[in-house]
């Protein structure tokens, strides 16, 4: 690696102007990234990771944000802090480029992927003809593993992993010296995530590009980064070689982040450490259940088939075909598979939100196949089956207070008066680690982890018998994820809940679930006890998924 840094940041301070006054987002951050080096910016939401990335490309709105300090590309490059927009435009895409987290938002839905990559090239090569730029775009698609023939496709024709490859191709089309990747794999399945990280590493090593990888995923850092810089609340806590910080970090916050994410080696069901409780005591004995869980099957699907109507004259799309599953009383069934495998479709069928095309759906022995089109049956089922959704930001009504959100199921399913509903809401909030003081607040006043706790409280309001948790921790930072998983384990033991736990994170599933069902392309590949599926998987696809875990 060259001694001359490709990116040099000194004393970077970023302050946001708000209605309540200036809010410092980043304070006195300094670091270098050498050519060919990968630096991981690691921390939870709000730590300042993305703020630093945007500042490096001059993407903050100067009318609302004050950026101070120094940012230079190369030892003798222009000062980017306070630089005129004309200078920044020459730098963006040519000298430094960015890969954003959500590829679908980063791409125009109205233009082909080839045209978008070609446009990024022509911005910095105005002498290139349109035909030449399209050839360059096709070559870049081939370079990231997409056939050149797909250049005429629009983004919606591609899978999530392929769209992310397009964004990477667009970022690298001008051979920049610095690549900033902001959570480039967070929303991707394990196999696709590994493919994208392998691709980034290969291209980065091939071109000698310096890279700043922004992430909260310690596994991604371990697999990708030479060094890591740990941030918390806008301040740098610790910096050093990745291997050292992962094994013998000096700061307790770093140690907590590293230990919070379960791995395939974490003892199943153990209490996960968090930032607030980095060395948790062994799990306390749960309070006695109100009644022992009965034996037998609570919910099941038999030979389930679900078709979605095709567009115009196209054939229907079969999302689930021939799947048979059972959720027993008091157990947690983990439903795993990549995007498009049918996990969420099965959840919607069991919750009475989607009518199956074929097969049987039963809850406690009762046929509930028609719940999606029978309002009375759907209402009855919703008392026994509740959902916890993936996105804690989108699943709560922003106009309602916490009290209104949590008590809505009580108004629908019980005859409790307002005072008793409020008492029940307080009880629920305390059960999930919140308090009565939170009743009058709105969702925007809470962190992501707190919002997910509110969603869990709402789901438990009417004491359901089955909770369907659809990717409930995938949108959360690792430490918050640990808090929510610990909470769900406590509630499961205390209340005797049955859970259908949907996730593409195999380490989380192994830690949390009793039995596992593996789906691929709408079909059931393998099912069995947790230890059997993880230790001696029988299906080749299951083995591929396990091999992809970082």
Domain ranges of the chain: 7-260, 298-547
Average of per-residue pLDDT across 59-78: 89
The whole-number average pLDDT for the span 430-447 is 88
Q: Using one digit for the tens of pLDDT, what is the confidence trace for 390-408?
A: 777 788 999 999 999 999 9
The architecture CATH gives domain 298-547 = 3-Layer(aba) Sandwich (3.40)
Helix axes 113-124, 160-172, angle to 10 degrees: 20
| pTM > 0.75: yes or no | yes
- Cβ-count burial 357-396 (b if 16+ within 10 Å, e if not): bebebbbeeeebbebbeeeebbebbbbbbbbbbbbbeebb
Q: Band the pLDDT of 312: cuts 50, 70, 90.
A: low
**What's the rounded Cα separation, in Å, for the pair 492 and 139?**
53
pLDDT tens readout for residues 332-369? 999 998 888 899 899 999 999 999 999 999 999 999 99
Looking at the domain covering 7-260, what would its CATH class be? alpha beta
Domains 7-260 and 298-547 share a fold: yes
Per-residue pLDDT reduced to its tens digit, 524-537? 999 999 999 999 99
pLDDT 10s digits, 179-233: 999 888 876 777 888 888 888 888 888 888 999 999 888 888 988 999 999 999 8
Q: What is the mean pLDDT of residues 317-340?
A: 92
Token pair of 22 as six digits = 């200036």
The end-to-end CA distance of the chain, in Å, is 26
């Amino acid at each position: 690696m060259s001694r001359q840094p490709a990116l040099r940041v000194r004393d970077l301070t970023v302050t946001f102007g708000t209605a309540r006054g200036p809010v410092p987002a980043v304070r006195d951050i300094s670091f270098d990234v050498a050519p060919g080096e990968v630096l991981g910016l690691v921390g939870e939401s709000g730590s300042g990771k993305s703020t630093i990335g945007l500042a490096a490309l001059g993407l903050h709105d100067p009318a609302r944000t004050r950026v101070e300090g120094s940012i230079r590309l190369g030892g003798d490059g222009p000062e980017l802090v306070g630089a005129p927009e004309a200078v920044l435009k020459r730098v963006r895409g040519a000298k430094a480029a960015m890969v954003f987290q959500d590829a679908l938002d980063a791409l125009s839905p109205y233009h082909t992927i080839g045209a978008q990559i070609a446009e990024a090239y022509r911005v910095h090569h105005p002498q290139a003809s349109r035909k030449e730029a399209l050839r360059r775009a096709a070559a870049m698609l081939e370079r990231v593993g997409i056939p050149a023939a797909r250049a005429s496709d629009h983004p919606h024709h591609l899978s999530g992993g392929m769209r992310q490859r397009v964004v990477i191709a667009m970022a690298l089309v001008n051979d920049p010296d610095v690549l900033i990747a902001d959570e480039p794999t967070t929303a991707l399945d394990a196999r696709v995530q590994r493919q994208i990280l392998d691709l980034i590493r290969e291209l980065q090593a091939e071109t000698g590009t310096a890279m700043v990888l922004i992430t909260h995923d310690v596994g991604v850092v371990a697999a990708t980064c030479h060094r890591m810089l740990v941030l918390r609340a806008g301040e740098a806590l610790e910096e050093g070689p990745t291997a050292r910080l992962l094994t013998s970090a000096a700061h307790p916050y770093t140690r907590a982040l590293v230990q919070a994410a379960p791995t395939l080696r974490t003892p199943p069901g153990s209490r996960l450490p968090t930032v607030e409780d980095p060395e948790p005591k062994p799990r306390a004995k749960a309070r006695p259940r109100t009644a022992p869980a009965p034996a037998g099957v609570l919910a099941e699907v038999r030979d389930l088939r679900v078709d979605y109507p095709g567009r115009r004259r196209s054939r229907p799309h079969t999302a689930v075909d021939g799947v048979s599953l059972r959720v027993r009383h008091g157990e947690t069934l983990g439903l795993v598979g990549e995007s498009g495998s049918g996990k969420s479709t099965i959840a919607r069928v069991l919750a009475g939100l989607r009518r199956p095309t074929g097969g049987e759906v039963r809850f406690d022995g009762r046929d509930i196949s028609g719940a999606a089109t029978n309002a009375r049956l759907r209402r009855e089922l919703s008392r026994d089956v509740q959902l916890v959704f993936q996105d804690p930001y989108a699943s709560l009504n922003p106009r309602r207070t916490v009290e209104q959100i949590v008590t809505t199921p009580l108004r629908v399913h019980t005859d409790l008066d307002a005072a008793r509903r409020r008492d029940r809401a307080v009880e629920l909030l305390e059960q999930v680690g919140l308090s009565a003081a939170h009743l009058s607040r709105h969702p925007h006043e809470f962190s992501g982890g707190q919002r997910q706790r509110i969603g869990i409280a709402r789901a438990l309001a009417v004491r359901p018998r089955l909770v369907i948790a659809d990717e409930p921790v995938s949108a959360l930072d690792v430490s918050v994820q640990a808090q929510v998983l610990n909470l769900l384990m406590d509630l499961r033991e205390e209340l005797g809940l049955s859970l259908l736990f949907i996730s593409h994170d195999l380490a989380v599933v192994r830690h949390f679930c009793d039995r596992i069902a593996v789906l691929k392309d709408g079909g059931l590949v393998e099912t069995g006890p947790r230890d059997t599926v993880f230790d001696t998987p029988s299906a080749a696809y299951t083995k591929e998924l396990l091999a992809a875990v970082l």
